[in-house]
Structure formats: structure tokens, C-alpha cells
Chain A
Amino acid sequence: MDVTRLLKPRKLLVPGLLFVLLIFLVTFPFYGLPVYYVVLFFTFFLFAILAMSWAMFSGPTGYMSLATAVFLGVGIYTTTILYSFVKRDILSTLPVDALQPVVTVFLIGAVAAGGLVSFIFALLIGLVTLRLKGVYFTIFTFGLIVFVMQLVLFLEIHITGTRGRSLILPGTGAPLAGTTTIYYIMLGILIATVVTAYFIRRSRLGLAMQCIGGNEEAAAHMGVDTTRVKVLSFAISAAFMGAVGAIMAPRLTYIDPGIAFNMLYSFMPVLMAVFGGMGKLYGPVIGAVIFTYLQRTLMTELPQYYMLTFGIILIICVLFLPGGLVGLIPTLRSRLGRLTVKLRKGREARQHANT
């Protein structure tokens, strides 16, 4: 085998850049920057995971899901409920110094549990609702947020007798995890999401999803088990939403149904993925980073204009940027190509004139 072919610079460019980025992200908390930046970065991660996992299912299949907030909330409640058991039976017996490591291990377990619970929940929902076509599916998932929120609220009030629960360490009353812990766990989920999204796009499942998005009936006739593909991919995307919800819980410290099932978390990933563009894997990530940054600055500078700006950007995007930001790349590239051709021709013409 020719080794030099493997070492071609163009082939190494993307993995190399990714590697550098990864190293940067892993070492980021040690740069001694203010906590604000660590929080900003894991908020990037949070929305990048949500936007990517949303685009994983809704992008290729064309089924627009607004259930993101539901799965996120399921994850949040998974941690919260698990913690109430752990707190009573295990944590109260431990010495104070041993608390933090145990809680960290617990949180990693909760992330896995949140993903699993969301996955199963999405399987059940998917089996019932993915028979719905197009807009009906969107209507259903939209109402699902209100439904689950009211149901949880009702159960909390009438069965557990609380409205909200708090997630703090016994004794000290400190939050369950520091920003650095949350940062690394979120980074781990992000990497898992990127890897899964990458492999799904190239797998049979991904191709089947694109078939369904193109023409569902034709896909069914070609032998794609459409229900299975839709339900499975819906559940896989929900698993990441649940996992990230599970680690969002300790950041929130106080949880009630209104906080856990917030509709904004359904809308934002859609907005980010559409803005960034779903034609490329990194499109939703770009959208997530830009919007999270916008959100952070607008929230502090001009809180009243924050939703207004989002609305206007969304409308402009739908009207003028059908492929999102990454959809601009081919256009720009061809313009650039034409420009260089023109320049070269001009130079040749000039040389011609000189001779």
C-alpha cells in the first residue's frame, strides 16, 4: 500500500482540524478564563446537541418534530427523580468529603438513564404517531409538550404533593455539580452525538431516512420498512435529547414542570438547524453557536428585542436562505470560481495583448 497516498494533505485537513478543535475543547477549562466562558461553552454544547439530534431525524425524513422539549424534560426529570432516591438511601450515609465524587458518578449514570428513558418513551410515542403524515405529526408533537407538562404537574401535585423539586447536595446545599463537571459530561454527549450523526448519515438507516424524505410511498415500495426506520431514528435522536436533559438538571437546581418542559427548547433547535442548514453535518452546530451567542448578548443588552430578532431571522431564513448558511457554500464557491476564471482570462488576454 502506498503510504504517501494516506498522507495527502487534503485528506488529513478535516480530521486534523477536528483533532485540534477537540484538544482545544478538552483543555478549555484549564485556560484560567472566567467561569462565564465555561458556561457559555457548555451552553453551545447543549444547543449543538439539541440542534444536531433534531436534524438527525427531522432533516432527512422531513417530519418536523416539536417534541425536543419533551425529551429534554424527560431527561431532566429522570435525574431529579433518581436523585431523590439516591439522596435518601445513599448520600445521607456518606461523609461530606466523599459526596462530590459519588455525585459525579451518579450524574454519569443519570445521563445514561435519561438517554435510555427518552429512547423508550420516543419508541412508544413514535409507534403511535409516526403514522401521521406531515403537518399532523408536527401538530401532535407540538401539543405533546403541553400534554406532558400538565400531566407531570398533575401527578406531582396530587401524588407526590410537591410542585417543584430542588436538586442540591444534602447538608451544604451546594449544586450537585460544578461547571467543569457539567462541561465535560456535556462535551462527552456532544462527541457521542457527532459520531452517531456521522455514522447514521452513511448507514443503511440514513439512506432509508432520506428515501422516506424524498417519497415515502416509493420508499415503502422499494422495500424500506418505513415505520421501523422512522420510529428507530426518532428514538435515537430522542436519546441524545434525554441525555443532555439529564445533565441540565443539576445546572437548573430547581425543577418544576414549567421549567423542565419549556416550549422554547422545542423551537430553538429548529431555528438553529434551519439557520445553519441541514445539508451538512456541521450546519446545525454553526446555527447553535451563532444563536446561543446572540441569545446571550441580546438577553443582557436588549431583552425585549430578543424574541423579535429571532422571529425576523427565522422568517428571513425561510424566505432567502432555503439551505441555511451551509447552503450558501456551493453558491459562494461557484461565484469565487467564476471570479478566478474571469481574472485568469483577463490576465491571459493582457499577456496576449503584450506579445
Chain B
Amino acid sequence: MTETILRVLIYGLLSGGIYALISMGLNLQYGVARVLNIAHGEFIMVAAFLTYTLYIGLGINPLLSAAISGPLLFALAFAIHRTLFKSLRTRAPSQGAFEGNSLLAAFGLLFVIQSVATLIWGTHVRAYTYLNVGVDFAGTTYTANRLVAFGVALGVSAVFYFFVTRSRLGKAIRAAAQDPATAGLMGVNINQVLALGFGLGALLASLAGLLISMYNTLTTGMGLPYTVIALIVIVLGGLGSIPGSLIAGLIIGITGEIVATLWDPSLSVVVYYGIFLLLLLLRPAGILGKR
């Protein structure tokens, strides 16, 4: 019994760490750049396929390929923000109008990225094996790749947290998130910082995609479910709160694992929504965020 509980908890944490990483990226993009990036999962998917291609084609270690896929996706997202979202921002009459329009544009991005990826990689299910060795712990065998993925996810989250709270650039990002106009007056290059926030979100997504590719199968449609989970996590954890995303990510991971063990894996999403609804009814102020 204790063994089962421990196993469920550990598996939950293993998924939760990845969810937290994904959600932090999305939270950053919405919190700073005010873009509810529905295409977030597509960046995860692209990174996963890049990792796969680099490993199978060139034999580059998946963990090291972050040095290639990370900067690549960061640059892509940075460029997208500097062109598409910046021009939407300058044209929008109000914050609300910008958020609505950028959401629509992000839908467009979702379609574009997903179909380009399908043109490149096809519709086959892909997978590779890396670190697929068993590690015994507390009576259950876990595969090493999942443990490594969890460790890396936590490490990256910690580094990211200290970057945002301690560094000068992190301070500029937080200032831009609070009030772009005032931050601009205080000498923050606002367009640069907003694009940076958006790019960093994509960087986190790319790392998550890399880690997911180590233990999961890949299809070009894999991104959207992760976006949905990330959306639920940031609503649960609170907008703009990085520790909130981390904790909520772990909670969602564990909940999903409990539901999958007790009832049915397909019910996880239903239960996430149950939690979401319950919180909404009990503590609407917590969910309404900044207002």
C-alpha cells in the first residue's frame, strides 16, 4: 500500500516537474508580453522533433542538443514578437483589444507551425531510446530518462527563478510585466524586454520539449494537450507567479497520476477541470488575477 502511494506520488512529481516547466514559460509570455500564446505547445513539439532529428541523424546527445534547439527557438520567438506582436501592440487601441488580437494571431501561429512541422517530419509517430535503463527505488523500477528529465526540469526552473528575481534583466522583465508604460519611462527598452520575455518562454518550452522527447513518442499534434495543461496550471497557480506555476504544476501532475491509477487515465483532464471549476466557485478572486 505504502509502496503504491509512493509510486503514484513519484510518478506524479515526474510529470508535474515537466508541467511546471511548460507552465512557467507560458506564464512568462502572458505575464510579460501579454500574449496568451496558444501556440506554446507547438514550440514544445518543434523542440522535441529537433532533438529527435539531431540524435538520430547526427548522433548528438539529446541533453546537449539543448545548445542548438534552445537558442534556435528563442531566436524564432524573439523574431516573431519583434515583428508580429509588436506591430499588433502598437496598433491596438487598448490592452483588451491587444490581448484578443494576439490570441487570434497565436492561433494562426499554431496552425502555421504545426503544418510546417507536418510538412517536414510527416505524420508518423516517432520515438528514440535514450537512457532507457531501469533504476530501482522503493520497490518500483523507474526509467533513468524520466528521472533525468525531472532533475533537469527542476534545475532549469530554479535557475530561471533566480534569473527573474535576482538579475538586473529579470528586474526589467518584472517591471515590464507590472506596468510597461512606467517601465519604459524608467529607461527599460520595452520592446526589447517584451520580446525577451516571449523568447524566454519559448526557450523554456524548447527545454520541456527536449525532455519530453526522451521518454515519450512524438507526433506533430502533440503540442496542444500540453498547452491545455499549461493553461490550467497558470490559472491554478496564479498569473505572473513563478512559484505558483511550479507548485500548481506538481499538484496537477500528482492529481493526474492519482486519477490514472484509481480510475482511468482519460479522466485526468476531467478532474483537472473539476479542480479548476471548484476553485473558481470557491475563490474567484484568486483566479481573476490582477484585478
Q: Which residues of B contact A139 (CB under 8 A)?
A: 36, 231, 235
Q: Given A135-B103, A139-B36, A153-B266, is A315 in contact with B84 using a C-beta cutoff of 8 Å?
A: yes
- Asked if A5 lies at the interface with its beta carbon under 8 angstroms from chain B, I say no
Q: Which residues of B contact A133 (CB under 8 A)?
A: 288, 291
Main secondary structure of the interface of A (DSSP, over half): helix
Q: Mark A281-321, 1 if CB is under 8 A from B, else 0.
A: 00000000000000000000000111110111111011100
Q: Assess the B287–A146 pair: CB atoms within 8 A.
A: no
Interface residues of A in 140-167 (CB under 8 A from B): 140, 142-144, 146-147, 150-151, 153-154, 158
Q: Assess the A62–B100 pair: CB atoms within 8 A.
A: yes
Q: Which residues of A contact B270 (CB under 8 A)?
A: 147, 150-151, 154
- Asked if A254 lies at the interface with its beta carbon under 8 angstroms from chain B, I say no
Q: Assess the B115–A134 pair: CB atoms within 8 A.
A: no
Q: Assess the A319–B87 pair: CB atoms within 8 A.
A: yes
Main secondary structure of the interface of B (DSSP, over half): helix
Q: Which residues of A contact B63 (CB under 8 A)?
A: none
A203 to B282, CA, bound (A): 35
Q: Which residues of B contact A146 (CB under 8 A)?
A: 225, 228, 269
Q: Which residues of B contact A153 (CB under 8 A)?
A: 266
Q: Assess the A62–B96 pair: CB atoms within 8 A.
A: yes
Q: Mark A250-272, 1 if CB is under 8 A from B, else 0.
A: 00000000000001000100110
Q: Which residue of A lies closest to B224 (CB)?
A: A263
Q: Assess the A270–B88 pair: CB atoms within 8 A.
A: no
Q: Assess the B104–A274 pair: CB atoms within 8 A.
A: yes
Q: Assess the B287–A135 pair: CB atoms within 8 A.
A: no
- Asked if B219 lies at the interface with its beta carbon under 8 angstroms from chain A, I say no
Q: Which residues of A contact B224 (CB under 8 A)?
A: 263
Q: Assess the B105–A150 pair: CB atoms within 8 A.
A: no
Q: Assess the A154–B100 pair: CB atoms within 8 A.
A: no
Binds A, one of B130-138, B143-151, B273-281: B273-281
In the assembled complex, how far is the CB of residue A213 from the closest CB belonging to chain B, in whole angstroms? 10
In the assembled complex, how far is the CB of residue A159 from the closest CB belonging to chain B, in whole angstroms? 12
- Asked if B232 lies at the interface with its beta carbon under 8 angstroms from chain A, I say yes
Q: Assess the B104–A270 pair: CB atoms within 8 A.
A: yes
Q: Mark A47-78, 1 if CB is under 8 A from B, else 0.
A: 00000000000000010100000000000000
Q: Which residues of B contact A6 (CB under 8 A)?
A: none
- Asked if A131 lies at the interface with its beta carbon under 8 angstroms from chain B, I say yes
Q: Assess the B99–A132 pair: CB atoms within 8 A.
A: no
Binds A, one of B7-15, B106-114, B192-200, B203-211: B106-114
- Asked if B116 lies at the interface with its beta carbon under 8 angstroms from chain A, I say yes
- Asked if A104 lies at the interface with its beta carbon under 8 angstroms from chain B, I say no
Q: Which residues of B contact A138 (CB under 8 A)?
A: 36, 103
Q: Assess the B235–A136 pair: CB atoms within 8 A.
A: yes
- Asked if A128 lies at the interface with its beta carbon under 8 angstroms from chain B, I say yes
Q: Assess the B231–A132 pair: CB atoms within 8 A.
A: no
Q: Which residues of A contact B110 (CB under 8 A)?
A: 311
5 new A-B pairs (CB below 8 Å) besides A311-B112, A312-B108, A319-B87?
A: A129-B280, A143-B273, A147-B269, A150-B267, A270-B107
Q: Measuring CB to CB, which residues of chain B are less than 8 angstroms from any residue of chain A?
A: 30, 36, 38, 84, 87-88, 91, 96, 99-101, 103-105, 107-116, 118-119, 224-225, 228, 231-232, 235, 264, 266-267, 269-270, 273, 276-277, 280-281, 284, 287-289, 291
- What are 24 inter-chain pairs, A to B, with CB distance below 8 A? A131-B280, A133-B291, A136-B235, A136-B287, A138-B103, A139-B36, A140-B276, A143-B269, A144-B273, A146-B225, A153-B266, A267-B107, A270-B104, A271-B107, A305-B119, A307-B118, A308-B111, A311-B112, A315-B84, A317-B104, A318-B88, A318-B101, A318-B104, A322-B91
Q: Top 6 nearest A-B pairs by Cβ distance?
A: A311-B111, A314-B108, A311-B112, A315-B108, A308-B115, A307-B115
